[in-house]
Chain A
Amino acid sequence: MFAFTVRRVAQAVLVMLIISLIGFSIKHNFGDPVRELVGERVTPQERQQIRDQLGLNDPFMVQYGRFLKSAVHGDLGRSFFFKKPVTEVILAKAPATLELVFCASLIVILLSVPLGIYSAIHPRRLLSRLIMGVSIVGVSMPVFLTAILLIYIFSVELGWLPSFGRGETVQLFGFWDSGLLTRDGLRHLLMPSVALSSIMLPLFIRLIRSEMMEVLETEYVKFAWAKGLRPRRVWYVHAFKNTLLPVITVGGVQLGIMVAFTILTETVFQWQGMGSMFIESVERADTALMVSYIVVVGFIFVVVNTLVDLIYGLVNPTVRIAGRK
């Protein structure tokens, strides 16, 4: 366990180093941050002065070194736009994104498991074909189109759900702005989560279905039938538990990727999370925030990967975390 932890931490550090290096080397391609800070009539000379003050004219390695040095102390720099430390900005925005991803994952898991199982057990039934058909159509819809259609139908035409933002939030633990605890917050969460889950849900249904169908053909499932077990037991315990293994590895990673893929959903729904923050920081060339976002997303990704491995170890008795390669 100790070795595992050490390895993971080392890995996380490496991943974040690489990401920050890439982030740093590309940041000048996003435009000049100073340009976004000043009105149009400020002269180029004045802009140069501001750049000098901000250290933006220093050589690449000097800037990167400075970044690393303060990063060690937990300071990822300052957001020009928000005029605050980026860690503060990201911390304030993270709950929105994480809650969105959480709800979308919840939808994905709660729906894909029963639907996937059903269509694996009864592959020939009409309903299964319907599930597969709809999931294929779901896969074929671009997220932003889904999102805007949802808004059009449920907000504009029917007026049932709010069209943007997070609604009423409650602060937990002094820093976590949660929309999960108020009715209004949950109403606001609904459509963005559905839109975000619309990409992953069909993939999960199909994944679970195909894995489950494979498992259903194995000897141990056949043996379970021969033991005269009730179908529920065979399907939900014998088959499903084994289906979970590949689903956890593939699916866990997918859910982790979802954090990086909230960008489109957040933009359309004006969801004030890290994704829209990133888009805006790109538009404003707020480089420190941009680089930190990529680093944080990389970090979340490593964390999710580690969690996936841990859960996999819990479900799969043949794997003992301590002894894992």
Chain B
Amino acid sequence: MINFLRRLRSSDFSYYFFRDPIALVSFAVLLVLVVAAFSAPLIAPHNPYDPTTIDIMDSELPPAWAAEGSRNFLLGTDDMGRGMFSTMLYGMRISIIIGLGAVLLQAMIGIVVGLLSGYIKRLDSILMRIADVQLSFSTYMIAIFIGATFQMVFGVANYEKIAAPLLILIIGLAEWPQYARTVRASVLAERQKEYIEAARVIGLSKVRIMWRHILPNTLSPVLVISTVQVANAIMSEAALSFLGLGMPQNKPSLGSLITSGFEYIFSGSWWITIFPGILLVTLILVINLLGDWVRDYLNPKLYKG
């Protein structure tokens, strides 16, 4: 372990990482956000999921420093009387889980489809047509379809319990073609290289060539688009909330918090929109900045000539 750390410290990776203040700060911010999100039950002063602690009479209190603010609620309260600070922490946790889960699902489907269609010519046109059909369906249509199916299977009233996995499934299924296309493109590029030819000549099986030789080479574009995809997934969830198909009101994600704040844009309760908005934009921003950095790192050609 110590050895590993030492190696990590002396590696190019950490060298460039520690030299780049943007990467460093982004990483620090992301770390703080993720840790805060996942330790929400420990650090949040209130539990927004426990309805017994919520009082409607506390609703729409401004942040603590404002004239009418309450010391109890640092960043004020939302329309339900939940503390913004605590609700945002819990919401961020859900957003991150949905974002990561959906991207993981997208990547899994996308990589498999991309590999198959890039490597097996017979499957290519079929799979890519499926991807086309998929792309022309927006997330919204998928959400309605899958949402309705789930409701039939699990019963309408249980929505709250299945909402998060459901959204992961919806966003995962809706946006995998991005991965498939990316992977396919790099498979096609990779397939023409000599070492693949060589591997084929020495009689390695297709599966092995795909898995051991082609896949690793497609990973950097996958990593690069993953950052954008995480951001997109979180925003898709927000968009679904905007159309009434996202996380339920009592388990809000950051996206649905912003959406519910949407109504408050012209009223004076700016904190209901602005705080989750800033948090969401910050979260996505640091993910994207790190993604940029990773791309630059993984594509050293750009710098090393």
Q: Is A15 in contact with B129, judged by CB distance below 8 angstroms?
A: yes
Pick the residue among A30, A217, A282 that contacts B302 (CB under 8 A): A217
Q: Is B292 in contact with A156, judged by CB distance below 8 angstroms?
A: no
Q: Is B133 in contact with A142, judged by CB distance below 8 angstroms?
A: no
Determine the residue in chain A with the shortest Cβ distance to B151. Answer: A29
Q: A-facing mask of B229-269, CB < 8 A → 1, else 0?
A: 00100010011001100000000000100110010011000
Distance in Å from the Cβ of A211 to the closest Cβ of chain B? 12
Q: Is B148 in contact with A29, judged by CB distance below 8 angstroms?
A: yes
Q: Does A14 contact B (CB under 8 A)?
A: yes
Determine the residue in chain A with the shortest Cβ distance to B244. Answer: A283
Pick the residue among A141, A148, A257 that contacts B281 (CB under 8 A): A141
**Which residues in chain A, 136-159, are within 8 Å of chain B measured between CB atoms?**
136-137, 139-145, 148, 152, 156
Q: Does B132 contact A (CB under 8 A)?
A: yes
Distance in Å from the Cβ of A26 to the closest Cβ of chain B? 5
Q: Which stretch (A71-79, A110-118, A260-268) binds chain B?
A: A260-268
Q: Does B14 contact A (CB under 8 A)?
A: no
If the complex has contacts A136-B288, A141-B281, A263-B140, are A29 and B149 also in contact, measured as CB distance less than 8 A? yes
If the complex has contacts A136-B285, A140-B285, A144-B242, are A282 and B136 also in contact, measured as CB distance less than 8 A? no
Q: Is A140 in contact with B138, judged by CB distance below 8 angstroms?
A: no
A-B contacts, CB under 8 A, total? 108
Main secondary structure of the interface of A (DSSP, over half): helix
A residues less than 8 Å from B133 (CB atoms): 15, 18-19, 298
Q: Does A302 contact B (CB under 8 A)?
A: yes
A residues less than 8 Å from B132 (CB atoms): 15, 301-302, 305
If the complex has contacts A26-B148, A29-B149, are A257 and B277 also in contact, measured as CB distance less than 8 A? no
Report, as a range, how many residues of chain A touch the other chain: 35 or more
Q: Is A139 in contact with B144, judged by CB distance below 8 angstroms?
A: no
Q: Does B103 contact A (CB under 8 A)?
A: no
Determine the residue in chain B with the shortest Cβ distance to A28. Answer: B148
In the assembled complex, 30 residue pairs joining A and B whose CB atoms fall closer than 8 Å, in A order, are: A14-B129, A15-B132, A18-B133, A29-B147, A30-B148, A136-B285, A136-B288, A136-B289, A139-B228, A139-B284, A139-B288, A140-B231, A140-B288, A142-B235, A142-B238, A144-B239, A144-B262, A145-B258, A148-B262, A210-B295, A214-B301, A217-B301, A217-B302, A256-B135, A257-B136, A263-B140, A263-B243, A279-B243, A282-B144, A294-B137
A-side interface residues toward B, CB under 8 Å? Answer: 11, 14-15, 18-19, 22, 26, 29-30, 132, 136-137, 139-145, 148, 152, 156, 203, 210, 213-214, 217, 250, 253, 256-257, 260-261, 263-264, 267, 279, 282, 294, 297-298, 300-302, 305, 325
